[in-house]
Amino acid sequence: QFIILSAGFANTTPVSIADLLFVFFLCILYQDSEKPQTCPGLGLLYALLSTVFFSIIALLVKSIKGVHAIEISAIRCFFQMLFTIPLLIYHKTGFLGPRDKRIYLVLRGFIGSNAMILLYYAVQQMPLADATVIMFSNPVFTSLLAWIFLKERCTIWDCVFTVFTISGVLLIARPPFLFGEHRRGIEGNYANHIKGTIAAFAGAVGAAFTFVVLRKMGRSVHYYLSVWYYAVIGLIECIITVSILGEWKIPYCGRDRWLLMLIAVLGIAGQTFLTKALQIEKAAPVALMRTIDVVLAFIFQFIFFNRAPTMWSLGGALCVVVSTSGVALQKWYSNSRKS
């Protein structure tokens, strides 16, 4: 639909990036109102698209220079809010949501926006692939938090995967008390590397909390309402924080300004495709498809920043990917036995 509409649009008027983005969102809006698709593999295709979009966002954040991570988050929340308003009006969901679910919507917005800020900060402070790998560990923490707060079953395998995940994070962080003072492959100074590691780890835990809150809400709240709270609360929080820090800066380059807008567009597109993937496909295959995010991060890091991964980073990535894949396969197997 996107290709056909874009081609027809191009034959009548000069096409700009904004025009194509407008057509793209018309397609998402139109498709969201269609009946559920039954095409085999469509859910996995949506998961792949969301993974590619999220990987490109991390690359763009890393490419923008001189703009604080919180300001980037504020700009993304602002444009995401603008794109969400017509979707809420179209679906007639209102802007507040069900009265008994508002506390969860506020929690989702607050925790989710903080996880985004922490991820962007981590990407700016350490190698792109390392930050992505640590952030990718959130499914493991989701299982543990779901056991604590939602009383879901926790197995010995969940504990094993958690140990593997923490081991992977340690291989990437390489603390001096374990690895000594000689560290190779660190981007910038080691203090920033540790700050990025802590931010990425905290972001992963925050993302896991967000998934637990979304599970608690269930399907009674429309997804775009959740995105709305995420954008509004994130924008308010970012504006207050950046104002206190005095970090407001307009990008010097016009290209960076377009990249900031593109981050917002890809953000809502990635979230939309991920949600549609989970509506069509089982969660385990979608989680496995998202492991491509780690591969793309290493590829982007090598191509765009000319940084080859170290053996420590590859070892840490292997531990985290094995853990998250193990969690997904375990859930898949458990659900298959129940059915």
Question: What pLDDT score was predicted for residue 16?
Answer: 52
Question: What pLDDT score was predicted for residue 187?
Answer: 67
The verdict on pTM exceeding 0.85 is no
Contact of 158 with 144, CB cutoff 8 Å: yes
The alpha-helical segments, DSSP class H, found in the chain are 2-10, 17-32, 42-63, 69-91, 102-125, 128-135, 138-149, 156-173, 176-179, 190-217, 223-245, 254-280, 283-289, 292-305, 311-338
Question: What pLDDT score was predicted for residue 237?
Answer: 93
C-alpha dihedral (295, 113, 108, 150), degrees to nearest 10: 50
Question: What pLDDT score was predicted for residue 58?
Answer: 92
Q: pLDDT tens digits, the chain, 339 residues: what are they? A: 444 434 443 444 444 554 545 445 545 544 544 444 456 678 788 888 988 999 999 999 998 888 889 999 998 899 889 988 998 999 888 899 888 889 999 998 999 999 999 999 999 998 898 999 898 888 888 888 888 888 878 788 888 888 888 888 888 887 765 666 656 667 667 888 889 999 999 999 998 898 888 888 877 788 788 889 999 999 999 999 998 888 777 776 678 888 888 998 898 888 878 877 776 777 667 777 778 888 899 999 999 988 888 888 889 889 888 888 888 787 777 767 776
Residues 241-300 have pLDDT tens digits of 998 888 777 776 678 888 888 998 898 888 878 877 776 777 667 777 778 888 899 999
Question: What pLDDT score was predicted for residue 73?
Answer: 92
Q: Which two tokens stand for residue 267?
A: 């953000």
What distance in Å separates the CA atoms of residue 260 and residue 67, rounded to the nearest whole number?
Answer: 10
Question: What pLDDT score was predicted for residue 106?
Answer: 94
What distance in Å separates the CA atoms of residue 114 and residue 234, rounded to the nearest whole number?
Answer: 7
Among residues 116, 89, 80, the alpha carbon closest in space to that of 229 is found at 80
